[in-house]
Amino acid sequence: MLSQLFTALKDVQAESLHPWVNKVGKGAVYVVEIGETGTLLSVRLRTSTEPLWCVYKSAENIFPVIGGQQNDEKQVKAIARCVRFAKQLTFFELASIAANIDPEKWYAGFRRVWERAKRDGILTDKDDYRKGYLLLSRGHIYTAEEYNDILQSNADSSGSLGLCSLTGQQSELETHKFPSPVLPALGVTYLFARNEDIPCLSRYGRNGAASISVGKRTLSELSGKLAAITQDGWNGKTWAKIQVNGHNALLLAYTDTQRVEFTELLASDEDLYAVVCEKVLAALKAQSKQGANPSLVKILCLRTLDQGTKGIEFEKDIDSTVLLSNLNRMLELVRQAPSFARLKKDEKVVPLSPYRIANLLEHQYRMDGGKIEIHSEYFETGLELLIGDMQAASATLLAVTLQRVTPLLLIPQRKK
Amino acid sequence: MDSTVVKLEIEADFGCFTDPLSGASFRTYPFPTFSALKQIAYTIADAHNAFAKPMLLRICSPLKFANYTFTYAGAYRKQGRAGFVGHSTVLVNPRYQVLYEVVSRNEDGGSPKAVGLMRQLLEYNITEGRCKRTPFMGRGEFVMKYVGPWRDVEPENINITVPRMLRSVFEERFNGDFAPVFADVKCEHGVVHYA
């Protein structure tokens, strides 16, 4: 996955980001305000638009986030662990002393603040910090840039020098854990996963970071590019969440010239697909009118393989001028396609997007209105309708479609 | 034709030439690495003082990938677990024509006799369908469908550059140390030249 990401994101312009700087997950996050002396001041629920970042060194070393726990004892341990890690960052050191000395006392204080917030109406009875996360804050919530600056300035440069496998240049190599950014749809994603506890994964007797040589700087740059391309504001433009055969997947589409809604075009599940096509078409036309050079649109689909492993589902690229002509053709087809009534519902079905077609082909349809889930991977073929050999893709999809709807065409046997 | 050159065609149902940077989600390169081709020739015939060095590869089947899941229940699984389920992306129906040059292992060129003997042995085994060990397409379970002389087929029109592709894992000589070498490899019109 590392090499594909490195190649696909080569032209992305972004600041490098320390591999430990990560987005806070999407669960319920409560922001706990702490005073300079470690006293607890307030607690509130994060707002939906608030971008939250944390330092994620490993599953047990996260700062300043404390994961929700099922019992009080574990919560106290988590606080102590978090505070120990916080001591490495001087800006939080003073505030952490009280919690470090006596985490139980700190936790009791937290519960008092929690109850007070409930009484004041800041939190409701539905709120439960054990089902979410606590994010400690002193003065303000630190941004990714601030964490990055702190970590980069404290960076340990005593690592071994060697030839980076990705860049081919002599640089300081990563000898510890590789970055594991939190990506949309996929969650925590190990860019290079090789569990040291599974000997069969070893390569020539080497495991973990020792099995390959990648420069720290390369990894920081890659983390920064991934964070930039998957930022919340670019949802639908450079990234989109999709489902591939029941698995969560992340679709990335990038071009170095302009932020066009490429992923919306490729992964749209909307009934009004023509509108999406028109929007992208207009953007591409405007781009060519401005005299911009044709650029390469790089498409990458990352998928959850199992709980801990993510992999590349497919990677493609297409020239923007070719996409423009393909899109014209697609729009024409979409406009010409007949609308028809949806089964059991008195509503008209409008032309389908490649993503919707792939989703529909994941089932076989029965006369009684039911459907059977079938293992199928036709999203890539569906995309070919738009970015590849349309005739070959149509031939494949037509055969599969017939197979999926055959039970609908057969006359049901009479019951004896 | 140069007397040290040997031609070999290989075909299998699946192939996997894993990119070491893909980690636990094994992903194959689009075509074999230099060291994988060297190993394939080595399974057909080997000698102590000469080896077949891949010079050129013709990709004779379209590039197709598939998801392949396997279960490993051997001794090297995670302790306390019944088995390990691995995921990989593999090549489907790979077919290649390879041009080898038989060279000496000695740095000073070695004996031309050793090179000649090795070439004869390799050519004889290829023609007769013999091999020393079972050749496989990158992974032990992907045994070959065909190993033999070149058949009449043209390479596919594939143009692709693989940046930082693994060339070799160990040093060139016998019992070499672990020293992976990566290089940009270009495939033009279905033909790859290994420098």
Q: Each residue of B125-177: pLDDT tens digit?
A: 999 988 889 999 998 899 999 999 999 999 999 998 888 888 888 876 667 78
Which pair of structure tokens corresponds to residue A317? 């690229």
- Which 8-state DSSP code applies to residue B140? T
Q: Between residues A175 and A293, which one has the greater pLDDT?
A: A175
Mean pLDDT to the nearest integer, A25-36: 78
Q: Is B24's CB within 8 Å of A3's CB?
A: no
| DSSP three-state, residue A364 | strand
Percent of chain A with pLDDT over 70: 81
**Quick one: A198 and A307 in the same domain?**
no
Q: Over the stretch B84-136, which tens digit does the pLDDT of each residue have?
A: 888 888 999 999 999 999 888 877 766 778 888 889 999 999 999 888 899 99
Residues A80 and A141 in one domain: yes
> Residue A316's pLDDT band (boundaries 50, 70, 90)?
confident
B164 interaction partners in chain A (CB closer than 8 Å): 3, 165-168
Both A11 and A59 in one domain: the answer is: no
**Mean pLDDT of the region A21-25:** 78
Decide if pLDDT at B2 tops 60.
no
Question: Could you tell me how far CA B71 lies from the centroid of its own chain?
Answer: 24
**Same domain membership, residue A220 and residue A300:** no
Q: Which of B25, B67, B182 sits opposite A1 (nearest CB)?
A: B25
Min Cα separation A225/chain B (Å): 18
What are the residue boundaries of the structural domains of chain B, listed by start? 5-156
Is there a contact between A198 and B76 if contact means CB atoms under 8 Å apart? yes
Residue A155: predicted pLDDT? 62
| Better-predicted residue by pLDDT, A270 or B124 | B124
The confidence score (pLDDT) of residue B1 equals 46
Between A165, A193, A214, which is nearest B24 by CB?
A193
Judge whether residue A414 has pLDDT over 70: no
Q: A163: which chain B residues are within 8 Å (Cβ-Cβ)?
A: 182
Mean pLDDT, all residues of chain B: 87
| Higher per-residue pLDDT: B36 or A352 | B36
Q: Is A163 inside a domain boundary?
A: no
Contact list in A for residue B76 (CB cut-off 8 A) is 198-200, 202
The partner residue sitting opposite A3, judged by closest CB among B65, B77, B164, is B164
The residue behind tokens 């889930």 is A373
Architecture in CATH of B5-156: 2-Layer Sandwich (3.30)
- Chain B residues with CB-CB distance to A306 below 8 A: 85, 87
Q: What is the ipTM of this complex?
A: 0.77
β partners of residue A138: A140
Query: Which are the contacts of B57, defined by CB distance < 8 A and separation ≥ 6?
Result: B31, B32, B37, B96, B97, B98, B99, B191, B192, B194
Indicate if A361 and A396 belong to the same structural domain: yes
Which of B54, B62, B144 lies closest to B99, judged by CA? B54
Give per-residue pLDDT as tens, B33-71. Answer: 998 999 999 999 988 888 888 999 999 999 988 888 888
Chain A residue with CA closest to B88: the answer is A311
> Residue A87: pLDDT above 70?
no
What is the Cα–Cα distance from A43 to A104, expressed in whole angstroms?
A: 18
| pLDDT score recorded for residue A251 | 87
Mark yes or no for CB contact B23/A199 under 8 Å.
no
Least CA distance to B72: which residue of chain A? A200
Closest CA to B17 of B5, B29, B25: B29
First and final C-alpha spacing in chain A: 57
Pairing of strands A309-319, A340-341: unpaired
Q: How many domains are contained in chain A?
A: 3
The minimum CA-CA distance between B62 and chain A, rounded to whole Å, is 14
Contact (CB<8Å) A194/B24? yes
What ranges make up the beta strands (E) of A37-167? 40-45, 53-58, 61-63, 65-67, 133-137, 161-163
Minimal Cβ distance to B182: which of A1, A168, A309: A168
Residue A415 in this model has a pLDDT that exceeds 60 = no
| Identity of residue B61 | S
Q: What is the mean pLDDT of residues A19-43?
A: 78
A212 with A87, same domain? no
Rounded to 10°, the helix A103-119/A72-86 angle is: 110
> Cβ of B25 and A310 within 8 Å?
yes
A167 located within any domain:
no
The verdict on A190 and A279 lying in the same domain is: no
Q: Is residue A334 located within the same domain as residue A209?
A: no
Per-residue confidence at A136, pLDDT binned at 50, 70, 90? confident
Domain assignment present for A169: no
Min Cα distance A198 → chain B (Å) is 5
Residue with more model confidence, B12 or A325 = B12
User: Do the beta carbons of residue A261 and residue A283 sit within 8 Å?
Assistant: yes
Within a domain: residue A414? no
Same domain for A28 and A8: no
Q: Is residue A160 part of a domain?
A: no
Count CB-CB contacts under 10 A for residue A257. 15
Our CA-based measurement puts residue B1 at a distance from the nearest CA of chain A, in whole angstroms, of 36
Judged by average pLDDT, the poorest of A42-46, A105-109, A335-339, A341-345 is A341-345
Cβ–Cβ < 8 Å for A400, A358: no
Q: What is the pLDDT of residue B56?
A: 93
Closest-CA distance of chain B to residue A31, Å: 36
pLDDT at B124 (0 to 100):
93
Torsion, CA B21, CA B27, CA B32, CA B37, rounded to 10: 80
Are A204 and B164 within 8 A, CB to CB?
Answer: no
Question: Residue A138 — pLDDT band, cuts 50, 70, 90?
Answer: confident
Is there a single domain that holds both residue A69 and residue A182? no
Instruction: Please give the model's pTM, rounded to 2 decimal places.
Output: 0.77
More confident residue, B97 or A93: B97
Instruction: Determine which of A166-170, A272-276, A319-323 has the lowest per-residue pLDDT on average.
Output: A272-276
Domain enclosing residue A179, as ranges: 2-18+174-228
Average pLDDT over residues A324-346: 72
Binary contact (B178, A206; C-beta < 8 A): yes
Given A166, A309, A377, which is nearest B24 (Cβ)?
Answer: A309
Rounded Cα–Cα distance for residues A299 and A277 (Å): 17
Enumerate chain B positions whose Cβ falls within 8 A of a Cβ in A.
Answer: 19-25, 27, 65, 67, 72, 74, 76-79, 84-85, 87, 89, 163-164, 169, 178, 180, 182-183
Closest to A198 (Cβ–Cβ): which among B77, B89, B180? B77
Angstrom distances, CA of residue A65 to CA of A45, A108, A408:
14, 18, 53
A→B contacts (Cβ < 8 Å), by residue, are 1-4, 6-7, 163, 165-168, 190-195, 197-204, 206, 211-214, 305-306, 308-312, 314, 377
pLDDT band for position B193 (cuts 50, 70, 90): very high
Do the Cβ atoms of B72 and B87 come closer than 8 Å? no
pLDDT mean over A352-356: 81
Q: Is the pLDDT of residue A96 over 50?
A: yes
- CB atoms < 10 A from the CB of B78, how many? 15
Which residue of chain B has the CA closest to A204?
B178
- What is the rounded distance in angstroms from the CA atom of residue A41 to the CA atom of residue A34? 6
Pick from A167, A212, A377: CB nearest B21: A212
Question: Is A292 found in the same domain as A320?
Answer: yes
DSSP-based three-state secondary structure for A297 = strand
Nearest residue to B4 via CA among B49, B38, B37, B51: B51
Which of A63-77, A106-120, B61-75 is predicted least confidently? A63-77
What would the two tokens of residue A339 be?
């609308």
Residue A159 forms part of a structural domain? no
> Is A162 a member of any domain?
no
Of B20, B76, B87, the CB nearest to A199: B76
Same domain, A9 and A121: no
| pLDDT in the model for residue A347 | 58
Q: Which of A134, A150, A166 delimits the end of a domain? A: A150
Q: Residues for chain A: how many in total?
A: 416
* Higher local confidence (pLDDT), B11 or B46: B11
Q: A27-65 burial, b if ≥16 CB within 10 A, otherwise e? A: ebbbbbbbeeebebebbebbeeeeebbbbbbeeeebbbb
Say yes or no for a CB contact (<8 Å) between B164 and A168.
yes
Nearest-5° angle of CA A71, CA A75, CA A78? 145
Q: Which residue has the higher pLDDT, A288 or A341?
A: A288
Inter-chain residue contact A3 with B78, CB threshold 8 Å: no
Residue A234 domain-assigned (yes or no): no
